[in-house]
Every structure is written in C-alpha cells, then in structure tokens.
Structure 1
Amino acid sequence: MIAVLLAVLAAACNALSSVLQRRAARTAPQSDAFKLVLLWDMMRKPVWLSGIVALIGGFLLQASALNFGTLALVQPLLITELPFTMLIIWLMYRIKLNWSLWRAIIALTIGLAVLLASASPGHGTRAPDTADWIIVTVVCGAILAYLIATAKITQGSRRAALLGTASGLGFAFTAALMKESTRLFNSEEAHLLTTWPVYAMVAAGVFSVYLLQNALQSGNLVVVQPTLNISDPVASIGLGVALFGETIRLGGWIAAELIGVGLIFYGSVKLAQSPQIRQGDLMALPE
C-alpha cells in the first residue's frame, strides 16, 4: 500500500512539473528545437525552475515507491499524472472541465484499476546480469533512435507525439535503472556510488527530460501527455518482466487487461481531443 501512495504522490508532482514546464517551453523559439540552447533558455525562466523542483520531488517519491514495490506496479500508477494534470490546469487557470472531460478522466482511472487488478504484478524473482542490461539497452536504444529520427522529419502534433513516446520509453528505462540502484543500495549501501546503474540512471533521466522539453515545445500538452503516460507504463511492465523476473497474470486475465488498456486509451484520446483543454493552451494564459 505504501508503494501505491508514494507512486500517486509522484504522479501529482510530475503533473505539476509538466504544467509548469509546458508554460515555459511554449515561449521558446522554434529554432531552439533539438539544440542544447533550449535547456539554457529554460533555465533562465523561474516557472521552468519551479517545474524542475516538482520533477525532482516526483523523482524522489518514485524512487521510494520502487524500493517498496515492483516496476510493473509503480510505473503504471504514474498514469494518474494525466488526470492530475487536467485538475491542476483547472485549479491554476480556471479552464472549465465539462462532463465529457470528467468521463474521460474516470475512464482512464478505471482502466488503470482494471489493468492492475487483473495483471496483479508480483515481485521479481531474480536480479538482472550484464547480458540482460546489454540486450535491453540495445533494444531500447534502437527504438529511441527510430522515434527521434522520425520526429526530426515531421512537424506539429505528430512530432510531439513521437517525442512524447520516446520520452516515455526513456523514463521507463530510467525507472528500471532506478529500481536496480535501490536494489544495490539495500544490498551494498557503502559502495552504491561506485556502481554503474546510478550514473546510467542520471544520464538516462537527463536525456529523457531533454526529449520531453522538445516534445512540449513541439505540440500541445494534451498531445504529449497521453503518449508519455501510455508508453512509460507499458514499457515499464515489459522491462520489469524482462529484467527482474516480475510476474503478471496471463491466460484468461489477458481479456480483462486488454479492457483496462482500452479504457486507458479511450480516456487518453478523449482528453487529448477535448476542445476545453485545446482552447486552454497555456501559451495564451497569463504568467
């Protein structure tokens, strides 16, 4: 239960971070896309720095949640970031949320509950070895390279969706490294800073944040957020099974799991299509 609570709090922090970073990123010139100067421009904006503080808070809460729970349990719970994002926008900017939007939020939340209840993620049965990490890194790297290369030759919402998916995969990989770091911390605390997963986690996390900044700059928040919040938990479940031997129920439970995924997809799409949120583009809102 403590892992669930920590994961939900992490999702709330991430949602606040996304709203604040979006507010800052939309004021950056399009010419800054895919350049390190984009991060430099963002660092000079107080609202973006506030978003980073919220992101760090979410990171610490997520790490604590992964220390108590499985990757396959904690990461899907971060889907609640999307409803939290909409609620934060509503509270901060007083954008009206009609029944259609609330229905989408409810569908996404129920879908998450159905997915987790039917999958019933179990704790890992093994620790990954070097070969496991090499294989997973190569596969994730190839997928990321394809998504980024495709994003570079597209524009607008399609680019934002591709980069949102890429950042979701990046955050899932970061979470897997975070899980490995917490495992090492519990077994060899004194030598943690001499182990490679800690530094790989930092590098993967920074790169994922960089991808997210480009995604937020390229398109509307509600295009980026659903792709990020779907690709992250799906990839995390796969990584949890592949690396740590975590278990999920299969057989007849697959039907219920697909229903859960379907509800999540429906809720995410409806949120992304909502005219109430589209007309509330944060670029047009006051500081």
Structure 2
Amino acid sequence: MISGDGAVTTALALVAACFIGAGFVAQQHVAYREPLAEMLHVRLLTHLVRRPVWLLGIAAMVCGQVLSAAALDESDLGRVEPLLATNLIFAFVIAHLVYKEWLSRAVWWGAVLVTGGVASFLTFGRPHGGQPAGPESPRWLAAGAVMALAAVLVLAAAPCSLRTKAILFSAAAGMMFGVQDALTRGTLLARGGGLGSVMWNWQPYALVVIAVLSLLLAQSAFDAAPIAISLPAITAAEPVIGIVLGVFVFAERLQITAGALAAEVAGLIMIVVGITVLGRSPYPGKPEPVASGGDGPS
C-alpha cells in the first residue's frame, strides 16, 4: 500500500512526466516543419524561438522539470526517476490524440520496452553514497569523455539516412542532457561556498553552453524524423548517462548484487531492443526542402 507521502511523490512524478512528454511533442511538431538544412545550425533555434507552440513546448518541459525536482525533494532517485521515464509514453499518447499521429502496434511495444528498460535500470541501479566532486577534480574528465562520444555520434550521422540521423542526434542530445544534469548538480553543490565561489567556478558557464548544445541536438533530431524515431534515445540516454556520471564524477555506488546486476543488464537490453524496434518503424519521410514556417508534414 502506498503511503500518503508516497502517493504525493508518485503523482508529482507522473504529472512531471506528462508535462515533459507534452513539451517534447510540441517542440517536435514545430521543429519538423523547419528545413533540413537547418539541422545542427544555430539558426534553427533562432527560427524556433519565434514559434509560439515551440515556446509553449519549452515552457511545458520546464514545468515538468520543476515538478520532478519537487518530487525528488520528497523522495529518492530510485523511486522518482523510473516514473519520469514514462514521459515517452505520455509523448506518444499526446502526439496520437492532439496531432493524430498514426502509431503502429510495434511503435507502442517499442515505447514500452524503452520505458521499461529505463525504469528497470534506474530502479535496480539505484546509486547511493558518494562524495562531492569539486570543480578542480579530475573526475570531471568523465563528463568530457561523454561529450566526446556524443560528438562521435554526430559526426557518424553525416553520411546516414534521416532516420539514422534522428536516432544518433537524439542519443547525442540525451547524453548531453545527462552531462547537463551533472553540471547542474555540481553548480548547486558550489553554492555552499557562497555566490563568489559560484561566479568563479567554471561549471555554471559550461552548463549554459551544454544546455544550448543539448537543445540544438534535440531540435535537430526532431527536424529529421517523427517523434517515434527522434525522441526515444533522448529518454533512454539522459538518465543512464546521469547515473554513469554519478558513479564516475560523484563517486556514487550502484547496487552490485547478482539480482540487481541482472536487472540492470536486462534494462539496457530492453532499451536497445526498444530503440531498434522504433527505429525500424515506417514513416513517409520528410521531403527536402520544406519551407520554413510552412505547412510541412507533422
């Protein structure tokens, strides 16, 4: 039986996931109408900020993040993060109901696999302990390694089809969002030394740069393909990278019992299979060029 506090935490996390999912749907709906030539260019963002629906999507995502922070304030990571992973399911439901996007049975199964895999990994991984990593700590090199891997994915996407570009850009965006989460945590920890320690710290400035790059990668993925293909890798990569950086940067420890390890591996396998299923789902493709702000496909 769920206690009163547990029920509040669950409700906050699910509402947060709904807002985040709705925000992604609105962003993708607008970004998909932009010309393909704008992928990975800052002008994509400069065009999108003029679109009211896209701004509503950003606002919805921010609301979701605020609610998720409130849920985390009431409970621990292991309970809240798996619920937040349902944002992919909410996104698909909202896209189907609001924009009448056709989603096959395979797409729904893929979404369930990705969501279930993320939830399994987070529930059984459940990082604990650890110690803060100061801005001068060499442990932050792990975040640099993640950024380098994200860059490799972006470069590898150059000769690929739009479908593959969307998946690779999405995965890179999710990885950068994970770095963003780690930098946010590092910046918040630096507040203990006062405002001066924050201002002379490299982390808040890096956080702004990473936030813009993450957003650009996500919108480029949304520009390339429908939400069933362009969103799942973000949902999967961000929390997984967040936990990985928690281990390497903040010296947190994962559950290492035989059962926990088996569940974590099974979760990762489910994520890979789910993204593979979604990546193979049919869609009519996006014609090139698409007039900016026009009535392109959605």
**TM-score under structure 1 length normalisation:** 0.82
AA at the equivalent of 2:148: A
| 2:155 corresponds to | 149
CA shift at 1:55, angstroms?
2.4
Within the candidate set 127, 131, 136, 2:132 is matched to 127
What 5-or-longer segments of structure 1 have no aligned partner?
none
SS at match of 1:244: coil
Aligned equivalents of 1:115 and 1:52: distance in 2? 27
Aligned equivalents of 1:228 and 1:58: distance in 2? 15
Residues 37 and 161 of structure 1, relative CA distance in 2, 3 Å threshold: same
Write out aligned runs for 1:91-170 (5 A): 91-95=97-101, 101-119=107-125, 121-129=126-134, 130-170=136-176
| 1:262 corresponds to | 269
> Number of matched residues?
281
What 5-or-longer segments of structure 2 have no aligned partner?
1-5, 287-294
Which is helix-richer, 1 or 2? 1
Residues 89 and 135 of structure 1, relative CA distance in 2, 3 Å threshold: same
Within the candidate set 205, 220, 227, 2:226 is matched to 220
Percent of counterpart pairs with the same letter? 29
Aligned equivalents of 2:103 and 2:154: distance in 1? 33
Aligned equivalents of 2:62 and 2:241: distance in 1? 22
Aligned equivalents of 2:64 and 2:184: distance in 1? 13
User: C-alpha root-mean-square deviation of aligned residues, in Å?
Assistant: 3.1
CA shift at 1:92, angstroms?
0.9
State the Cα deviation string for residues 198-233 of structure 1 (Å, max 9, x = none): 332222111100111111112232222122122222
**TM-score under structure 2 length normalisation:** 0.79
Aligned equivalents of 1:95 and 1:256: distance in 2? 33
State the Cα deviation string for residues 60-100 of structure 1 (Å, max 9, x = none): 33444555666677655543221111111122134466655
SS at match of 1:284: coil
CA shift at 1:163, angstroms?
0.8
SS at match of 1:152: coil
Q: Which moved more, 1:130-139 or 1:16-25?
A: 130-139
CA shift at 1:12, angstroms?
2.2
CA shift at 1:22, angstroms?
1.1
